[in-house]
Amino acid sequence: MKIGIVGYKGRMGKEIKDLFEEKNHEFVWGYDKDGEYFQETPQIIIDFSLPEVFEKTEDYVKKFNVPLIIGTTGLQDEQIEALKALAKDVPVVQSYNFSIGIQLFLKMVDFLKDKIDGWDIEIVETHHRFKKDKPSGTAKMIKESLDKDVPISSLRLGNVAGDHVLYMANLGEVLSISHRALSRRAFAEGVLKSAEFVTNKKNGYFTFTDVI
Interface positions with ligand NAD (CB under 6 A) = 7, 9-13, 31-33, 48-50, 52-53, 71-73, 95-98, 133, 187
131 is a catalytic site residue: yes
At its nearest, how many Å lie between ligand NAD and the CB of residue 27? 14
3, 38, 8: which is closest to 20 by C-alpha? Answer: 3
Is residue 152 within 8 Å of residue 123, measured between CB atoms? Answer: yes
CB nearer to ligand NAD: pick between 116 and 154:
154
Is 199 part of any known ligand binding site?
A: no
Is 12 part of any known ligand binding site?
A: yes
CA 91, CA 202: separation in Å to the nearest integer?
6
Where helices occur in the chain by DSSP H, the ranges are: 11-22, 54-64, 77-86, 100-112, 137-146, 185-198, 208-211
At its nearest, how many Å lie between ligand NAD and the CB of residue 150? 21
Cis peptide before 51 (omega within 30 of 0): no
Identified catalytic residue from 17, 25, 127, 143: 127
Is 205 part of any known ligand binding site?
A: no
Binding-site residues, in ranges, read 7-12, 32-33, 71-73, 95-98, 128, 137-138
Catalytic annotation, residues: 127, 131
